[in-house]
């Protein structure tokens, strides 16, 4: 599958801002942690996410108070909606449009990647991909890992990308794989498995705040907590 190439256009009171999208999820909101930072009334700290499903851009409202509208209807939170060509969504005072496979000459970008003279009048910047993290908690330790690679291994083996030195963790316990919708965790036939809310799982597309427990004994065994800055926050379960 080819990495989608697209431009996100945001307009507000006659001003247009455009961002190159690289095929990874991008978050929009007031918080500086977002891929695209928006200001103004009606914008939540973590307002919406742009994601790709089968190379088609989808927009997800993240439970914002003022909401996100598309084709005159308010989006149901946490549900992805496809963005067709020329469709315009509204977030607060912003109008949003995604242009897929635009006829751009990337050589026209300057060294900062901000201007595209003779092709686009709008300023252009690269939208930062959403940052994902995995927090690992054991009885006497707590570590935070930023997830960037396409695949990462979790295990007791020191060669693992995410090394968890605990007797309940197998040498190669689980694998994280990046998808257009975020990271998926897969159990690698480990001895103690993976539990989510008391239920054994073999694989799971991780949502913000998901707490994966090894062997189901939260007080003694390691916890793996996923954090997506553009997802709805959830407390430790």
Q: Please state whether 173 falls in left (phi above 0), alpha (psi between -120 and 50) or beta.
A: alpha
Closest CA to 31 of 20, 47, 9, 18: 47
* Choice between 205 and 87, residue whose per-residue pLDDT is larger: 87
pTM: 0.56
pLDDT at 101: 77
Q: How confident is the model at residue 237 (pLDDT cuts 50, 70, 90)?
A: very low
Place of tokens 């800055």: 229
Nearest to 93 by CA among 47, 32, 25, 35: 47
Compute, in degrees rounded to 10, the torsion defined by CA atoms 29, 35, 39, 44: 10
pLDDT at 182: 77
Give pLDDT, residue 126: 57
Can you give the pLDDT at residue 95?
A: 92
Q: Taking residues 169-176, what's their average pLDDT? A: 94
More confident call, 107 vs 165: 165
pLDDT digits (tens, 9 = 90+) for 36-94: 889 888 999 999 999 888 889 999 999 999 999 999 999 999 999 999 988 999 999 99
pLDDT number for residue 125: 57
Mean pLDDT along residues 1-22: 77
* pLDDT at residue 29, as a whole number: 92
pLDDT at 26: 87
Tell me, rounded to whole angstroms, the distance of Cα 127 from its chain centroid: 12
Choose between 202 and 235: higher pLDDT: 202
The whole-number pLDDT of residue 119 equals 38
């Amino acid at each position: 599958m080819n990495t989608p190439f697209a431009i996100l256009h945001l307009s507000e009171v006659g001003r247009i801002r455009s961002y190159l999208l690289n095929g990874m999820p991008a978050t929009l909101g007031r918080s500086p942690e977002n891929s695209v930072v928006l200001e103004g009334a009606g914008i939540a700290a973590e307002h919406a996410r742009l994601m790709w499903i089968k190379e088609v851009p989808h927009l997800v409202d993240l439970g914002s108070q003022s909401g996100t509208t598309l084709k005159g209807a308010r989006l149901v939170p946490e549900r992805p909606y496809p963005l067709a060509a020329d469709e315009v969504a509204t977030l607060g005072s912003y109008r949003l449009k995604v242009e897929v496979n635009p006829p751009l000459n990337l050589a026209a970008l300057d060294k900062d990647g901000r201007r595209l003279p003779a092709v686009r009048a709008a300023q252009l910047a690269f939208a930062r991909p959403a940052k994902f993290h995995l927090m690992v908690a054991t009885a006497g330790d707590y570590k935070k890992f930023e997830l960037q690679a396409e695949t990462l291994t979790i295990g007791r083996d020191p060669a693992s990308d995410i090394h968890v030195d605990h007797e309940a963790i197998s040498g190669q316990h689980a694998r994280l794989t990046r998808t257009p919708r975020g990271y998926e965790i897969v159990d690698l036939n480990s001895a103690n498995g993976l539990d989510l809310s008391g239920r054994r799982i073999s694989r799971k597309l991780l949502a913000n705040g998901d707490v994966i427990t090894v062997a189901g004994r939260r007080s003694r065994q390691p916890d793996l907590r996923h954090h997506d800055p553009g997802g709805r926050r959830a407390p430790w379960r």
